[in-house]
Chains A and B, each alone.
Chain A
Amino acid sequence: MSHSFLAAEPATGRPQPDAVVRLEDVGKVFANGTVALSGLSLAIAPGEFLSLLGPSGCGKSTALRLIAGLSRPTSGSIAWPAARLDGRGLPRGEIGFVFQEPTLMPWQTVFGNVWLPLRLAGISSRQARPAVMEALAAVGLEPFARAYPRELSGGMKMRVAIARALVMRPRLLLMDEPFAALDEIARQQLNEDVLQLWRRTGLTVVFVTHSVFESAFLASRIVVMTPRPGRVFSDFAVAAPADRDARYRTSDAYHAVTAKVSRALQEAMQAGAAA
């Protein structure tokens, strides 16, 4: 569903067979009859920072849950071309997930929370220590390993959640509006840090958001979805420099992208209203 005026930077020229995960004509109807997604097709290329942008209720979180295997599509298929799959049809240990809330266990320390995915894989705390401390260092929280979540600020809790998602060294990091509840300053800082992590690790990231600015700042590719039932409305690469930092927020290139994305979002809303 590529939209015409954005065709100048199509994302279709990517080598398709190498996709990390490919959604084909995926639909999701909930038990109560709500059609969340209909005809969603999307191939996620390795190493890209893809931002799924759309109005709330457009099914972007649902799409993320389908990719993570937390929910099954009612139609269409989800394929993992280059991964070894476990019994559930998922690439075991290759997906990291960051929820809207930090979702930490309050009875565990920061260390205990980040250790969790490894612990569930049968790795002792002593064996896991280097990996856990490395993940904590990656989000700047190494000194807080022994703190309890209630002692941390909202932004720090979110960093713990990111460290936990990174500790298994996933190939694909799924983030579901992770910073929506944070204040603007904490959000900007975390956006910069996530971007830096992405550049350093070569992760593939799918970042769900309803913020045009967040999308424009972070993504190497932006997919705008229509209102429910969600499908891809427009899909374009962002040609801005990869080493974005705080200065990028005031640059003309950034403003051009936000304007373009805002327009695409408005058109997506109109297309949804018309349908």
Chain B
Amino acid sequence: MNALPPVEDGVGPTAPDAAAPATPLRDKVLRVVVPVGVLAVVVLAWQAYVTLSQVPRYLLPSPADVAAALWNDWGILWPALLVTLRLTFVALLLALAGGAALAIVLAQSRWIELALFPIAVVLQVTPIVAAAPLLMIYTDTQTTLLTCAFLVAFFPILSNMVAGLKSVDHNLLDLFELSGATRWQTLVYLKLPAALPYFLAGLRIGGGLALIAAVVAEFAAGSAGKGAGLAFRLLEAGYRLNMPRLFAALILLTGTGVAIFALTSLVSWLALRRWHESAVRRDT
């Protein structure tokens, strides 16, 4: 076969940033300065309010009090944070593996889906945390917490993955059939890559939920002593009217949530940046 004349019916592939003008440095700096500045103003206003109105520390601590608590109580807060982090990540990993695996099983046949999906829905709509006291009777605290966090993170991943596996372009399925692809090849080369954006959306939702569930379940199940997570330290500080430490624990939880969101978003962007619309810059 000889080559045809070169293509003339459209634009060539564009290097991602070749055509777009580089963002001016000023713009880049402002992107950082503006949100950080707003945050700083809020913190300063908070400090000013507490100082000027002389609110008692057991009602509203100042940012300086919170920072001091964070520093002084680090020996208590850090181990608790580690406990909560481990719980969150173990639950999330189990949910990722379990959700993806069950979705693949469900997508294999309509009958399997018909048989299992009602159970999945029942488990999803039941407020799992409400069952924590019951679970405590059957197992120990750590297993209860893990079960709750797992179940809460599991469903967004499962339902996203099922939706992803089902949303494969029918023409591509035809093409695979035409090429004599095996079930396995269709799964690996077509359905799993097509479901990846959905799976990653599930990951981002599930990551946030795993942390929330780990905290809420600890509220519900209650734990103490060495195995205590941040939720317990938070409650404890509340009972003792140690508001600076309560705020410090809260800030650690928020920071953890933000970190999980950033991490899952980064994973998602890295996996999709070459091809998926959600991760590709729009040409303007």
B247-284 contact mask (Cβ, 8 Å, vs A): 1 or 0: 00000000000000000000000000011110010000
**Is B236 interfacial (CB 8 A cutoff)?**
no
A154 to B11, CA, bound (A): 10
Tally of chain A residues near chain B (CB < 8 A): 53
Bound form: Cα–Cα A101–B174 in Å: 13
Smallest distance from the beta carbon of A31 to chain B beta carbons, Å? 15
Cβ-based interface call for B178 (8 A):
yes
Contacts A120-B180, A200-B1, A200-B2 given; does A150 touch B7 at CB 8 Å: no
Q: Which residues from chain B contact A117 at a C-beta distance below 8 Å?
A: 179
Residue of B nearest to A92 (CB): B180
Task: Contacts A185-B9, A201-B1 known; list 9 others, CB within 8 Å.
Answer: A103-B175, A107-B274, A119-B189, A137-B1, A149-B275, A151-B13, A186-B9, A189-B8, A189-B9
Q: Tell whether A156 is near chain B: CB-to-CB under 8 Å.
A: yes
Q: How large is the interface on B (under 10, 10 to 19, 20 to 34, 35 or more residues)?
A: 35 or more
Q: Footprint of A on B, CB under 8 Å? A: 1-14, 169, 171-172, 174-181, 185, 189-190, 193-194, 196, 274-277, 280
Kindly state the separation between the CA atoms of A44 and B11 in the bound complex, as whole angstroms.
Answer: 37
Residue among B4, B14, B189 facing the most chain A CB atoms (10 A cut-off): B4
CA distance A140 to B8 in the complex (A): 10
Tell me the bound Cα distance from A70 to B177 in angstroms.
Answer: 7
- Is A190 positioned at the interface, with any CB of B under 8 Å from its CB? yes
CB-contacts of A64-109 with B (<8 A)? 65, 68-70, 86, 88, 92-93, 95, 97, 99-101, 103, 105-108
Enumerate chain A residues within 8 angstroms of B189, measured Cβ to Cβ: 116, 119-120
9 A-B pairs closest in CB distance: A153-B10, A151-B13, A155-B9, A147-B13, A103-B171, A186-B9, A140-B4, A138-B1, A137-B3
Contact sample, A vs B, 10 pairs, CB 8 Å cutoff: A65-B174, A92-B180, A97-B174, A101-B171, A105-B194, A152-B13, A153-B10, A156-B7, A186-B10, A189-B8
| Complex CA–CA separation, A159 to B274 (angstroms) | 21
Chain B positions within 8 Å of A213 at CB level = none
Other-chain contact of B7, A99, A138, A155, A196 (Cβ < 8 Å) = A155
B-facing mask of A226-262, CB < 8 A → 1, else 0?
0000000000000000000000000000000000000
Return the CB mask of A185-200 against B: 1 if under 8 Å, else 0: 1100110010011001
B178 touches A103 (CB 8 A): no
Residues of B contacting A190 in the complex (Cβ-Cβ under 8 angstroms): 9
Query: In the bound complex, what is the Cα–Cα distance between A100 and B185 (angstroms)?
Result: 24
Partner of A154, one of B10, B180, B280: B10
B179/A103 in contact, CB under 8 A = no
Within 8 Å by CB of B275, from A106, A119, A142, A193, lies A106
B4 near A107 with CB under 8 A, answer no
Q: Scoring A residues 97 to 135 as 1 if CB is less than 8 Å from chain B, else 0, what string do you get?
A: 101110101111000000011011100000000000011
Contacts of B169 in A (CB 8 A): 103
Q: How far is the CA of A200 from the CA of B172 in the complex (A)?
A: 28
Q: List chain A residues, Cβ under 8 A from B11.
A: 153
Complex contact A99–B14 (CB within 8 A): no
A99 touches B171 (CB 8 A): yes
Most buried by B among A103, A107, A155: A107
Cα A142 to Cα B5 in complex, Å, equals: 11
Q: Is the CB of B179 within 8 A of A68?
A: no
Q: In the complex, what residues of B have CB within 8 A of residue A196's CB?
A: 4
Provide the residues of chain B in CB contact with A156, threshold 8 Å.
7, 9-10
Known A120-B189, A153-B11, A185-B9; contact A97-B175, beta-carbon cutoff 8 A: yes
Residues of A with C-beta under 8 A to B175: 97, 99, 103, 116
Q: Select one of A105, A107, A121, A200 contacting B180, CB under 8 A.
A: A121
Q: Determine how close the nearest CB of chain B comes to the CB of A40; give it in whole angstroms.
A: 20
Closest to A134 in B: B1
Residue A139 CB within 8 A of the other chain: yes
- A141 within 8 Å of B by Cβ? yes
> Would you give the shortest CB distance from A91 to chain B, in whole angstroms?
11
Contacts of A103 in B (CB 8 A): 169, 171-172, 175
A68, closest chain B residue (CB)? B178
Complex Cα spacing A144 to B14, Å: 11
- Provide the residues of chain B in CB contact with A154, threshold 8 Å: 10
Q: Closest approach, in angstroms, between the C-beta of A28 and any C-beta of chain B?
A: 16
Q: How many whole Å from B176's CB to the nearest CB in chain A? A: 7
Q: Are A141 and B7 in contact (CB-based, < 8 A)?
A: yes
With a 10 A CB-CB cut-off, give which of B1, B3, B178, B190 has the most chain A CB atoms: B178
Distance in angstroms from A214 CB to nearest chain B CB is 16
Q: Which of B1, B5, B11, B194 has the most CB of A within 10 A?
A: B1
